Structures are given as C-alpha cells and as structure tokens.
Homo-oligomer: A and B are copies of this chain.
Amino acid sequence: MTATASTAIGQRSLGDPSLLFPLARPLLTGCPATSTEEMQYPLEIDYDYAKVPRDIFAQPPLPGLARWAPLLPPLVPELSMGEGGTALIESEAIGRWLGLDLPVWLKDESRNPTWSHKDRLNYCIVSTAVKTGAPGIAVASTGNHGAAAAAYARRAGLPCVVISTRDAQPAFVHLQAALGSTFLQVEGSARWPTLRRIIEETGFMPASNLTRFHTGNPFGPEGYKTIAYEIFAQLGRELPGTVVLPTGYGEMLFGVHKGFRELKRLGLTHRVPRLLSAEPIVRAPLARAMAQNVAAAEVSGPASIAAGIACTVSSYRAAVALRESGGRPLTFHDDVLREAATRLAHEGLWQEFSGVAGLAALHEAVRRGEAIEEPVVVVLTSTGLKEMPAVVPPPPAEPVSLDDLIAALKRGAGA
C-alpha cells in the first residue's frame, strides 16, 4: 500500500462551492453558511488535485483503501481491515433477465470486512474521529451501517453507541454483541433524539445524520469514491455506460459519482458514466426531488422489504450526483425486488433485499422501454446472511422418502 499522504485541503460546501472550511473541525450538521430551516446542504472533502500522483491509478484494485490515500481524507492506516478491492463479476444470465444487450457487471460489496459497502464509509469516518480526538462514535442504524461503524470504532479502541430499533435483525444483534458495542434498541421515533442527545452531551462523533434533510458526516462518502476507481481498473481502464446503485440517503451515489468525476478531472477519462439511483417506489424521496426539481424532498409511505434504503428524506448530494452524471432516479416494487434476489441467488450470489435494489430498478426501467447505456455495472451492497427473509420457506418438516427423492433427482437429471 502506498504511504502517500492525503491531499485533502478542507470541507467544501455543496450549498455554495466557493466556501471552503478547514478540515480540523468536522462539520457534522451540514454547511453552516448555506443551510436554512427549509433546506440543509452537505459538505464534501476537497483536495489539492495538482498534488495527486497520477500513478495511483496504475495500481491493481486490491483490498485496503489506504492505497488511495491521496484522494481520501487523512486515514489511520492501522485501522484498515482490507476493505474494498471487491470482486466485479460478469453475468450473462442476469444481463438477459434485465433485458440488456450485453452481460451485466456485478460489483459485490458483500466481500468487505463486515460484509457490506458501509465499511468504505466508516473507515473514513472513524479515521477522522481518531485524527480529531473524538472520544467515541455514535450511530443510528438498524443494520449494515451500524455494523461497520461499530467494527472500525472497536478496532480504533473507541466506544461506540449503536441506536437501533426493537425489530433489528438477529444477525445484527449478535454482531453488535460480538463487537462489544453499546447497542440500544429504542422506538423508531426515539432514535434521532437519542442520537442527538448522546452527541451533544458526550462529544462522540456521529456516523449518522443530524439534520432534517440528509447532510451526514462529510468524511464518509469519500470512501465510496474507491468503488469508482476499482470499477475503472477492473474494466481495464475503461468506463461503463451506466452504474446503478441501491439508494437511501445517497451517500454512495454521490461518492461513486465523485470518484468518476475525479478520474475525468485528473485526465484519465473523458466522460463520467450515467448514475441511476434505485429507491423503493413506496417512498423514493430522491425521485420526488428530481421530479420537482428541488434540492431534496421529504415523503411518507409504507415500509419496503428493502429496509436498509427505504428512507423518507433525500439529500442534496444525491441530486447533484444524478444531475452531474446525466443520470436519473429509478424506483422498484417489492415484488420485483424479491424476484431479483431470487434470480441472483440462482446465480450463486445471495444478497439482502436492499442489496439487489439496483437489479430490480433496472429491470423495471428496461421493461418500460427506457434506453440504458451499456455496459452496465450494478452495485450489490450486502450479504443475504444478515437478513433471514420471512419469504424464504424453511425446508419441509415432513421429509420426503429417499426413494422418492432419488427418483425425482433421476427424472430431473434426465430431463
């Protein structure tokens, strides 16, 4: 891994990109200058791009985000758990199911240290907490995000409070117990007030958002840029036409777009791929914001089986990513999501429902006749092991006879 230092120069406002705030004091409630009661604007990390060694893009996309250090916030190398470097898998069968002309590329983020994309985000956040002397980490999450935050915090020797809900998946309850975090299961409505109080009274660094419209921790989404760097390397220094991503608050969407934007800025490419967001149709605040041409939107709506991304508010950074990339928001129905998860499992890859949102949304878009620029990369975000979906039936209590089974296997094999 390269020992080159970060070239980060400050926190830049997305509300007014002329505003640059120093790195030293992380701005955790959005841009202080441009945010209002009505709208809150996130910040991003800016870099001295002239100082970025171009040859970091000549390296193979192996695990360990510190290899991209010049284009990330200051990292603590010892905190790395070999995050990133995830497989990109070509699938003809899924491409056919989607209705594409070419095979689709699947970026499997379940190959990360806590088996989701959130490790990229939380490595950056916890590094920032260590660098700035935060006494701990606090996160509101029912799942992947809390798992990754707790793992990196524990590795850093920082206490971590995870504020979850009473219906948290057993896998996460056990994971948090194993990591030794303080795991709170509270009523849904109490999550954000609880998080805010803990942050205010302890000075812990939030890995979660503290504003009405999502602004979040500006250091986190930088980690997702490495997905773009890896895709570029894995496709042989070529770009896909389109990248489709499961989208909740849009941190990954923005990070991946920013990664591609940087490749262009640094002269390695001449365009950026179109980014398509995938939200459950029952809520889909980003789709609403784009349709109304506003910075962000708040919606209400029933739950989705895509629990990890069924958000009720969007973020300005998500809208920026779609607009700048020439992309657009997609939505999906839960029944198509179930079918996508099943189709993918039948290719050997088992993801939680939120993880296959990109496949479901793309399937619906192609069925509607929308043009899709190929080749397409779909990002898969987390293992099916974290979710025990009620729709997957347990094996029959009444076992079939071995004679009947063997006869059936022979018929099947002969068919």
Residues of A at the B interface (CB closer than 8 Å) are: 60-64, 78, 80-83, 85-89, 92, 108, 110-115, 135-136, 151-152, 154-155, 159, 161, 170-171, 173-180, 182-186, 194, 197-198, 201-204, 341-342, 345-350, 383-386, 388-389, 392-395, 399, 402, 405-406, 409-410, 412-414
Contact = CB atoms under 8 A, between A and B. Distances in A.
Given A179-B346, A399-B184, A386 B388 contact: no
A88 B62 CA distance: 10
Contacts of A201: 406, 410
25 contacts: A61-B62, A62-B62, A62-B85, A63-B85, A63-B86, A63-B111, A78-B92, A82-B87, A87-B113, A110-B115, A114-B350, A151-B348, A159-B409, A171-B385, A173-B394, A175-B385, A179-B348, A182-B405, A182-B409, A183-B395, A184-B395, A197-B406, A202-B410, A202-B413, A383-B385
A154 B345 contact: yes
A191 B89 CA distance: 34
Contacts of A385: 115, 171, 175, 383, 385-386
Q: How many copies does the complex hold?
A: 2
B348 A152 contact: yes
B177 A394 contact: yes
Nearest to A405: B182
Nearest to A63: B87
A203 B409 CA distance: 10
Nearest to A84: B87
A399 B186 CA distance: 9
A350 B179 contact: yes
Contacts of A174: 384, 388-389, 392, 394
